[in-house]
C-alpha cells in the first residue's frame, strides 16, 4: 500500500522537545506519572518522557477499541491496566491520535475515578473536535493530517508502527 510521509522524524523531534518543556512549565510540582496508551503511543511516550526534565514515573494502559479499526465506537476494552495506583499523583495521559474523542473520554473517566491530584492530556495528533463532543486537550503535537495515518507507533492493521515519521496510508 502506498505510503506518503506527511510529518518527518526531524519535525517530530523538534515538537517533542517543545512539548516536554511546555509540560514541565505548566504541570504542578509534585509526584508525576506519565501514562502512555498502548499500543499507538508507545514511541511518542518514550520520546516525550525524555524531554520532560523532572522526576517522574512511567506507566502504560493497554486498550483495544471494539469494532472497525478505522472508525471509533468509543467502547474501549482495557487489555492491560496500570501497574501502580495514581491516587494523589499528577497524571499526564499520553495518546497517539484523538479523532472523535470518545476513546479519550472513556479513559479520562476511568483515571479520574482513581483520585489523581491532577489529570492532563497530551496527544501527538488531534483532529478538530466535532461540535458538542470536545474533550479538553492540554497539549497537542500537531493537527492530525487528513486521511488515515500510520508510523511513529501508529498502526494500520498492526503494521507500520516502526516507520520513523508520520505517513498517510493510501488504500
Ligand atoms: P477516537 O475515539 O478519538 O475517535 O479515536 C481514537 C483512536 O482511534 C486512536 O487512539 C487510534 O487508535 C484510532 N485512530 C483514529 N484515527 C487514526 C488514524 O488516522 N490512524 C491510526 N493509526 N489510528 C487512528
Per-residue pLDDT tens for 69-96? Answer: 555 666 788 999 999 999 999 999 999 9
CA of 29 to the centre of ligand 1 (A): 31
Ligand 1 centre to CA of 72 (Å) is: 7
The response to whether residue 149 sits with its C-beta less than 6 Å from ligand 1 reads: yes
What's the pLDDT at 63?
A: 93
CATH number of 3-65+78-169, picked from 3.40.30.10, 3.40.50.2020, 3.40.50.720, 3.20.20.80: 3.40.50.2020
Closest CA to 36 of 17, 13, 56, 66: 56
Domain ranges of the chain: 3-65+78-169
| Residues with catalytic roles | 99
Whether the CB of 42 sits within 6 Å of ligand 1 = no
- 150 Cα: distance to centroid of ligand 1 (angstroms): 10
pTM of the model: 0.94
Cβ pair 111, 35 in contact under 8 A:
yes
Q: Is the pLDDT score of 68 beyond 80?
A: no
Q: Is the CB of 45 under 6 A from ligand 1?
A: no
pLDDT per residue over 99-141, tens digit each? 989 899 999 999 999 999 999 999 999 998 765 566 789 999 9
Amino acid at each position: 500500500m502506498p505510503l506518503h510521509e506527511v510529518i518527518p522524524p526531524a519535525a517530530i523531534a523538534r515538537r517533542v522537545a517543545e512539548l516536554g518543556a511546555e509540560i514541565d512549565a505548566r504541570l504542578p510540582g509534585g509526584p508525576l506519572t506519565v501514562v502512555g496508551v498502548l499500543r499507538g503511543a508507545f514511541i511518542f511516550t518514550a520520546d516525550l518522557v525524555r524531554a520532560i526534565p523532572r522526576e517522574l514515573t512511567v506507566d502504560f494502559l493497554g486498550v483495544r477499541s471494539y469494532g472497525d479499526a478505522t472508525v471509533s465506537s468509543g467502547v474501549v476494552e482495557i487489555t492491560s491496566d496500570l501497574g501502580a495506583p495514581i491516587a494523589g499523583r499528577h497524571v499526564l495521559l499520553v495518546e497517539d491520535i484523538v479523532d472523535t474523542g470518545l476513546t479519550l473520554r472513556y479513559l479520562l473517566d476511568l483515571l479520574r475515578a482513581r483520585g489523581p491530584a491532577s489529570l492532563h492530556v497530551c496527544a501527538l495528533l488531534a483532529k478538530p473536535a466535532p461540535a458538542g463532543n470536545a474533550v479538553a486537550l492540554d497539549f497537542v503535537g500537531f493537527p492530525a493530517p487528513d486521511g488515515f495515518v500510520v508510523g511513529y507507533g501508529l498502526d494500520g492493521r498492526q503494521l507500520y508502527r516502526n516507520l520513523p515519521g508520520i505517513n498517510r496510508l493510501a488504500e
